[in-house]
Amino acid sequence: MRSQVIKRAIPDVFKTQPGVSSDDAAADTGANGAVSVDRPEFRGPVSYGPLKLATRYLLSPLAGFTTLPFRRIVRNIGGVGLATTDLVNCRALLSQNDRTMQMIATHAEDQPFAVQIFGSDPKFVAAAAQFLEERGGVATIDINMGCPVNRIAGAGSGAGMMCDAAGTTSLVQKVVESVSLPVSVKMRLGWDDDNLTAPFFAKEFEQIGVCAIAIHGRTREQGFSGTVSRPGIRKVVEAVEKIPVVGNGDVRNVADAATMIRETGCHAVSIGRAALANPWIFRQLDEWERTGTYSPAGTFEERLQLMVQQYRFLAEQHPPKRAIILFRKMAHWYLKGMRIRRKLRGDFQFVKTPAEFEAALERIRREGPVGGNRSGVLSDCHIPVPSGPVDKW
Ligand SMILES: Cc1cc2nc3c(=O)[nH]c(=O)nc-3n(C[C@H](O)[C@H](O)[C@H](O)COP(=O)(O)O)c2cc1C
């Protein structure tokens, strides 16, 4: 249901943003292809309560995209400190319907992982958190306070929670008190420029035991338009004493992550859309933090292998034909970034059987990208976001 909501907001309104390049503009490339970017001062290792994260680079939830197969892909590549499910409706979770149970499915390769929940009734949100804790396998619970979609925000959950100081604080407190798992919150800067409530909530949440705050540096009114306010994120960092703040928004490459850390002082960075364009980004960030340089993203051939692997992961969860249908959406992304001839990309959207899937990939492998660059460096990759007036989403 949740991703239908998001899809309804997106459909043909997939609006392209300025090109996202996996090449860093502000970076120096060495002879072996390693790229060097100046490192900011990093904060100490990041922990969500007792949970120590292996890196400070997190996968930001993208409903419909950051599903278990994709999470396994980025985990296998490496460098991910924590990944989160798409937002899950608390009531749907408590009813344990198949679709929702699939959304919270995980795998040994997908650890540690967080489930992100949303709801406006403290009773249900707390009960959903308890359900997750009793079920096991979940490392942390994340409360969504950022979703701008009308049906969610308008009903008092998601970004709607940013308008109700007392109600929201008491809801979050009830969740924290109901479980022993660490509870984090992901929010926006506020409802609009006149209501930048994130620093207030961050401070309150730290007092009541929230383990971390992730902050997308836009208001609800902004939707995905404009740019992220790093000064706005900085105010959230300054509002808390100890808990980690995860800076989020518009980080497309290592140089952007460096800027985010340098200008906001955030402890960690989460990346959503750019991970679709470049699933190697977490490994690159981790390498860069340790060495000051990072290796290029996967080659054309490695991207094809990654597609096959992601399809296999999907087929572990679904019958093969259904897995193909589900995979087409991601394939569209990958192939677009890989600069495949439009006709081949279009053909891929009609494959129905595993044999046709293999044959289509083989044709793509033989023909290669337009322009012949098989290095895997993407010059341009468009990321879709909902557009139009946000109150119509
Ligand atoms: C298609 C789409 C789906 C999203 N779904 C979620 C979601 O389920 N939960 C959430 O907290 N944020 C969601 N977001 C917001 C992202 O997690 C992230 O905050 C935002 O895209 C900015 O980060 P980025 O520039 O790295 O993508 C979504 C964003 C997009 C574009």
The one-digit pLDDT tens for each residue of the chain (393 residues) are: 333 333 333 222 223 333 334 444 456 777 677 899 999 999 999 999 999 999 999 999 999 889 999 999 999 999 999 999 999 999 999 999 999 999 999 999 999 999 999 999 999 999 999 999 999 999 999 999 999 999 999 899 999 999 999 999 999 999 999 999 999 999 999 999 999 999 999 999 999 999 999 999 999 999 999 999 999 999 999 999 999 999 999 999 999 999 999 999 999 999 999 998 889 999 999 999 999 999 998 888 998 999 999 999 999 988 988 899 988 888 887 887 788 888 988 988 899 988 998 899 999 999 888 876 676 555 445 556 666 667 766
Pick from 222, 225, 177, 226: nearest CA to 198:
222
Enumerate the domain spans of the chain.
2-25+41-294, 300-367
Pick from 277, 226, 218: nearest CA to 248:
218
Q: Which sign, positive or negative, has the C-alpha torsion 273, 228, 87, 241? A: positive
Instruction: Please check whether residue 284 is in contact with residue 297, taking contact to mean a CB–CB distance below 8 angstroms.
Output: yes
Mutate to test the pocket of ligand 1, among 2, 6, 8, 62 (most ligand atoms within 8 A of CB): 62
How remote is the CA of residue 60 from the centroid of ligand 1, in Å? Answer: 6
CATH architecture of 2-25+41-294: Alpha-Beta Barrel (3.20)
How remote is the CA of residue 226 from the centroid of ligand 1, in Å? Answer: 15
What is the Cα–Cα distance from 202 to 86, expressed in whole angstroms? 22
Contact 260 CB / ligand 1 (< 6 Å): no
pLDDT of the residue at 26: 54
Contact 249 CB / ligand 1 (< 6 Å): yes
263 CA to centre of own chain: 21
3-state secondary structure of 267: coil
User: What are the structure tokens assigned to 365, written together?
Assistant: 């492998």
How remote is the CA of residue 364 from the centroid of ligand 1, in Å? Answer: 30
What is the Cα–Cα distance from 268 to 323, expressed in whole angstroms? 33
Longest pairwise C-alpha distance within the chain: 60
* pLDDT tens readout for residues 98-138: 999 999 999 999 999 999 999 999 999 999 999 999 999 99
Contact 157 CB / ligand 1 (< 6 Å): no
Mutate to test the pocket of ligand 1, among 2, 273, 282 (most ligand atoms within 8 A of CB): 273
pLDDT of the residue at 375: 67
Instruction: Please check whether residue 81 is in contact with residue 57, taking contact to mean a CB–CB distance below 8 angstroms.
Output: yes
Q: What pTM does this model have?
A: 0.90
Atom index in ligand 1 nearest the CA of residue 383 equals 31
Contact 148 CB / ligand 1 (< 6 Å): no
CA distances from 372 to 295, 346, 362, 367 (A): 21, 19, 16, 9
3-state secondary structure of 102: helix
pLDDT of the residue at 269: 98
What is the Cα–Cα distance from 229 to 216, expressed in whole angstroms? 9
What is the Cα–Cα distance from 228 to 13, expressed in whole angstroms? 21
Contact 251 CB / ligand 1 (< 6 Å): yes
Which residues lie across from 117 on neighbouring strands? 88, 143
What is the Cα–Cα distance from 389 to 144, expressed in whole angstroms? 21
Ligand 1 atom 6: residue of nearest CA:
62
Candidate list 90, 147, 211, 381, residue with the active-site label: 147
Contact 61 CB / ligand 1 (< 6 Å): yes
Is 147 designated active site? yes
Contact 63 CB / ligand 1 (< 6 Å): yes
What is the Cα–Cα distance from 351 to 61, expressed in whole angstroms? 28
How remote is the CA of residue 248 from the centroid of ligand 1, in Å? Answer: 9
Which residues lie across from 333 on neighbouring strands? none
* pLDDT tens readout for residues 244-287: 999 999 999 999 999 999 999 999 999 999 998 889 999 999 99
How many CB atoms are located within 10 Å of the residue 293 CB?
20
Ligand 1 atom 12: residue of nearest CA:
61
pLDDT of the residue at 170: 97
Instruction: Please check whether residue 148 is in contact with residue 158, taking contact to mean a CB–CB distance below 8 angstroms.
Output: yes
Contact 252 CB / ligand 1 (< 6 Å): no
Alpha helices in 155-294 (DSSP H): 165-178, 198-207, 230-239, 254-264, 273-277, 281-291
Contact 142 CB / ligand 1 (< 6 Å): no
Contact 88 CB / ligand 1 (< 6 Å): no
Ligand 1 atom 4: residue of nearest CA:
62
- The phi and psi torsions of 200 (rounded to 5 degrees) equal -60, -50
3-state secondary structure of 151: helix
Mutate to test the pocket of ligand 1, among 7, 15, 17, 60 (most ligand atoms within 8 A of CB): 60
